[in-house]
Amino acid sequence: NAGVTQTPKFQVLKTGQSMTLQCAQDMNHEYMSWYRQDPGMGLRLIHYSVGAGITDQGEVPNGYNVSRSTTEDFPLRLLSAAPSQTSVYFCASSWTSRGDNEQFFGPGTRLTVL
Amino acid sequence: GENVEQHPSTLSVQEGDSAVIKCTYSDSASNYFPWYKQELGKRPQLIIDIRSNVGEKKDQRIAVTLNKTAKHFSLHITETQPEDSAVYFCAASFDNLFFGTGTRLTVIP
């Protein structure tokens, strides 16, 4: 099993550009989530999904969209990148339909917005 | 929503000493409390977790205690080793995970 994979590992964008961060898992997990990690602020939940076709907002959803067309994939879209979105983004998945079990994290995407 | 506070933000200990990291949470409905370790440039990885029906859990040199009445939980690492140096995050969950701001632990050889 590859576990949770993310692409790309690094990305530099200009203000106003859009892009999609990819996340996939091969563990047949129901729950998937996106976090951003900023210095001194821990990990903050952006969006999450409890199954294919179901998504919901987390703590910091503004400026991001998600979709969940399959159990395996959970892409995160930045609509119009801003410098405030410079961060490290982690995707995670869990075998239950909630976040109250071990979450398996991907390797992360380091995003810089100029 | 849930608010998780974590202290201290940095902690230095001598190799072989114990380290304690403390967290408080605000939502009394939270029932799952994991601890994650993150090494530099790596992904967070679960090291231990506890549920609200248990007061203490141990795994070799690592232990976690939970006081539901006071809404706080702690991570205890005994006989620290240089490879324990990392950032540690606590979290609390009822349906989604809410993380503390992290503790950078440095174990001095």
pLDDT of residue B20: 98
B103 inside 8 A of chain A by CB: no
Mark yes or no for CB contact A100/B95 under 8 Å. Answer: yes
pLDDT of residue B60: 96
pLDDT of residue A99: 73
Taking contacts as CB-CB distances below 8 angstroms, the residues of chain B near A32 are none
The per-residue pLDDT for range A25-52, each reduced to its tens digit, is: 999 999 999 999 998 888 999 999 999 9
B89 inside 8 A of chain A by CB: yes
Q: Which residue has the tokens 């809404």?
A: B71
pLDDT of residue A101: 87
Q: Is the dihedral of CA A52, A55, A59, A62 positive or negative?
A: positive
pLDDT of residue A31: 94
CA-to-CA separations, B49 to A37, A43, A67, B108, in angstroms, rounded: 21, 17, 30, 26
A97 inside 8 A of chain B by CB: no
Quote the Cα angle for B12-B18-B21, to 5°: 70
Rounded to a whole number, what is the distance in Å from the CA of A67 to chain B's nearest CA? 18
pLDDT of residue A98: 76
Strand ranges, E, within chain A: 4-7, 10-13, 19-25, 31-37, 43-51, 54-57, 64-66, 76-78, 87-94, 104-105, 109-113
Which residues make Cβ contacts (< 8 Å) with residue B74, sequence separation at least 6? Answer: B20, B21, B22, B23, B64, B65
Q: Specify whether the CB–CB gap between A104 and A90 falls below 8 A.
A: no
pLDDT of residue B44: 97
B46 inside 8 A of chain A by CB: yes
Rounded to a whole number, what is the distance in Å from the CA of B19 to chain A's nearest CA? 20
Instruction: Calculate the CA dihedral of residues B76, A102, A25, A72 and round it to 10 degrees.
Output: -160
Q: Specify whether the CB–CB gap between A23 and A91 falls below 8 A.
A: yes
B102 inside 8 A of chain A by CB: yes
Of residues A73 and B1, more confidently modeled? A73
The per-residue pLDDT for range A78-98, each reduced to its tens digit, is: 999 999 999 999 999 998 877
pLDDT of residue A68: 97
Rounded to a whole number, what is the distance in Å from the CA of A48 to chain B's nearest CA? 9
Q: Specify whether the CB–CB gap between B45 and B30 falls below 8 A.
A: no
pLDDT band with cut points at 50, 70 and 90 for residue A104: very high
Tell me what the pLDDT averaged over chain A comes to: 95
Rounded to a whole number, what is the distance in Å from the CA of B44 to chain A's nearest CA? 7
CA-to-CA separations, A85 to A15, A22, A111, B29, B77, in angstroms, rounded: 10, 16, 8, 31, 35
- Kindly give the confidence (pLDDT) of every residue in chain B, 109 residues in length, as a single tens digit, with 9 standing for 90 and above: 789 999 999 999 999 999 999 999 999 999 999 999 999 999 999 999 999 888 999 999 999 999 999 999 999 999 999 999 999 999 999 889 999 999 999 999 9
Instruction: Name the residue type at position A36.
Output: R
